[in-house]
Structure 1
Amino acid sequence: MKMFEFTNYIPKLVDPSIALDGSTKEHCKNVMIYAERLGRSLGYLDIEKLKYAAYFHDIGKLNIPEEILSKPSKLTEEEYEIIKKHPQIGYEYLNGIGVEEIQDTALYHHERMDGEGYPMGFYGDQIPVEARIVAIADVYDALTSDRPYREAMCHEDAIRLMKNDKGAFDQKYLVCFINTFEYDMIE
């Protein structure tokens, strides 16, 4: 969908985004920025679609209890299972308001290239390009931001951790993400 068409959906999306807590909203903005940079570096053509998909990737967290989202300690198995529902919730929400163009990113952004992700267990090329891009941006921002349960990692430690998790990310996209950051740091 082209930008001028997509802007018709913004009023439907704005109200729920206001409900996001400050740290989730900041995370979504950061993911949008990182995804846009990676998308441009990869030559992805529909940057506006990617930006909206990235910004609303966690919209399903609106239905997750705040006490779970802001818990300062490790989640229980039951709490983690609840968190794992947010991609499906986000998909259904976006589908329900007629924003099919970005719903797959909400659904698949926790899939892994090795098939060990959730909710579908998709792997490799089964995972849409936008979701692969957003997954990298999402994890990078999560690692480099303070969370209720831990302090932020530095850039180098986050990149090292992501590189070592070989099955998680599209390696071509991850290398491009790393190179984009290194180029930006030089300038």
Structure 2
Amino acid sequence: MVNPDIMIHGEITGYILAKMLECESIYTRQDIADYAMLGVLHDIGLYRNETHEQLFILENYDVWAHSIYGYLFLKYLSPMEEKADIILYHHLDYRLYNKVQNKYLKITSYLNIADKMDTFMHMQKGDIDPNYFKEYRDLTFSGQALDLFYKAEAKFKIIAKLRDGSYRLELMNILAARIFSEDQKKRFLQMLIYTIDFRSVHTVDHTMATTAFAREIANCMRLPSIDQQHLYYGALLHDVGKLAVPIEILESPRRLNDEEMRIMKTHVEITEDILTGVVNDAIVKIASRHHEKLDGTGYPRGLRGEELTLTQRIIAVADIISALHGKRSYKDSMPAEKIKQILREDANNSKICKKVVDCALRNYNTIMLNFEKEQRETMKMYLTIKNQYEAIYEQFKEFG
């Protein structure tokens, strides 16, 4: 699963960067919110790692791997693609800045010092040794960025707020200044899902397929727009709990044994825990009820039909179609007629909603055509990121 230290480090780095920019008094609240968001996400390239190593090791061992992945995730998946270079170069030594072209080098230098400050404070148990920064001034990092940090620290008491945790509420207020459109919100969410799922191509494919099938069925059933929106986000987030499932289970080359299946099933309750209080309750329930059955034989709660809304019934059907249609190392994609047969049997046995199944079957060919087109684009993007990572990594070897 994602190392929680990475996420906390992102919060702290984003907060430090925001206070440095605020101290300069030349940026708008929205500018500061944008850059704070970049600070929070600056190590998003590490989310794909299956590791629990200490943050210092992750931040200082092969820094280009996570910097390049983070850059590519921002460039291709987020609404902040223009500023992705900041992430790419955030570990570049200041003395090498003349070797790169980046119109955001000043912000990059600020992010670099904010990043180093949190990492260094962890190493020094919260205390900063000024001699370290004097020694590497204008070599490893920008002297001007360092001076700005000390100015911001004197003005805003950054370190004290980091120690007592009060920075979190302040950071939330800073980020709240940025108003995102619905499309931008979707892109951010998709980026996070892709990033987290990037360690498992099967999870990426299944998440995107479930989301596409749920959207198509909801559209065919002419659900109100608010229900379609909730269903979209619920489907996109329905397997986020797999963050806590070991990669060897997610990518198993064979069918799971009983113990592995028990571990896999925990992802549903973990999904609910992660999302509760973060997104709309309707979205939480859609995401966390995709394995429930109308007859009460599903999991984790064993809910029955009268307790499941139409959107929750739709995601259950979409998830099944995705699982049956998906190809794994131990099974091929199931033929359309076999998928339809299983759906009919489950509907007739009161496992899943007959109304939803009837709609899916009537529109099956159209649903699949639309999904396969979307799938080609998804896999194309996935391979583009993989290939560009390798090319950029080769170029960055000269930086050491």
TM-score by length of 1: 0.86
Residue of structure 2 in register with 1:168 after alignment: 351
Q: CA deviation at 1:130?
A: 1.8
Evaluate the alpha carbon distance shift between residue 9 and residue 150 of structure 1 in structure 2; reply closer, same or farther with a 3 A threshold. closer
| 1:55-134 to 2 correspondences below 5 Å | 55-134=236-315
Quick check: 2:203–2:250 contact (8 Å CA) kept in 1?
no
**Does the CA-based 8 Å contact 1:108-1:128 persist in structure 2?**
no
Is 1:181 the counterpart of 2:360? The answer is: no
Q: 2:189, 2:217 → 1: CA distance?
A: 27
**Per-residue deviation, 1:85:** 0.8
Code of the aligned partner of 2:210: V
Unpaired stretches in structure 1, ≥5 consecutive residues: none
- AA in 2 matched with 1:120: R
Distance 2:233 2:279 in 1: 14
For 1:18, the aligned partner's letter is T
Instruction: Give the corresponding residue for 1:40.
Output: 219
Q: Is the 8 A contact 2:193 2:236 kept in 1?
A: no
**Are residues 55 and 137 of structure 1, via their aligned partners in 2, closer, same or farther at CA, if it must alter by over 3 Å?**
same
What letter corresponds to residue 292 of structure 2 in structure 1?
A: E
List, as ranges, runs of 4+ consecutive aligned residues in structure 1 with deviation greater than 4 Å.
3-13, 182-185
Q: Distance in 1 between matches of 2:240 and 2:365?
A: 30
String of CA shifts for 1:63-95, please: whole Å, max 9, x gaps. Answer: 111111121222221111111111111111112
Corresponding pairs, count: 183
Q: CA deviation at 1:97?
A: 3.1
Determine which of 167, 192, 196 is the counterpart of 1:15: 192
- Pair 1:27-2:206 in alignment: yes
Matched residue, 2:319: 138
Q: What residue number does 2:127 align with?
A: none
For the 8 Å contact 1:144–1:153, the answer to whether it is kept is yes
TM-score (norm 2): 0.42
Question: CA offsets per residue over residues 5-29 of structure 1, 9 Å max, x none?
Answer: 7965864774354110222112111
Q: Secondary structure at the match of 2:254?
A: coil
Q: What is the distance in 1 between the residues matched to 2:367 and 2:300?
A: 34
Partners of 1:140 and 1:158 within 8 A in 2:
yes
Please state whether the residue corresponding to 2:276 is helix, strand or coil. helix
The one-character-per-residue Cα deviations of 1:141-170 (angstroms, maximum 9, x if unpaired) are 110110233111011111111211223210
Please tell me whether the aligned partners of residues 112 and 123 of structure 1 are also in contact (alpha carbons under 8 angstroms): yes
Mapped contact 2:190–2:236 kept (Cα < 8 A): no
Report percent identity of matched pairs: 29
Q: Is 2:213–2:367's contact at 8 Å kept on the other side of the alignment?
A: no
Q: Per-residue CA shift, 1:25-52, capped at 9, x if unaligned?
A: 1211111111111111222112222111
Higher RCO (C-alpha 8 Å, min separation 6): 1
Determine if contact 1:111/1:120 at 8 Å carries over to the other structure: yes
Root-mean-square deviation (CA, aligned residues, Å) is 2.4
The letter of the residue matching 1:168 is K
Deviation string 1:102-139 (CA, Å, 9 cap, x unpaired) is 11112110001111000000010212322210111111
| Cα distance in structure 1, aligned partners of 2:214 and 2:320 | 11
* Structure with higher helix content: 2
Distance 1:149 1:167, change over 3 A: farther
Is contact 2:214–2:235 with CA below 8 Å preserved after alignment?
Answer: yes
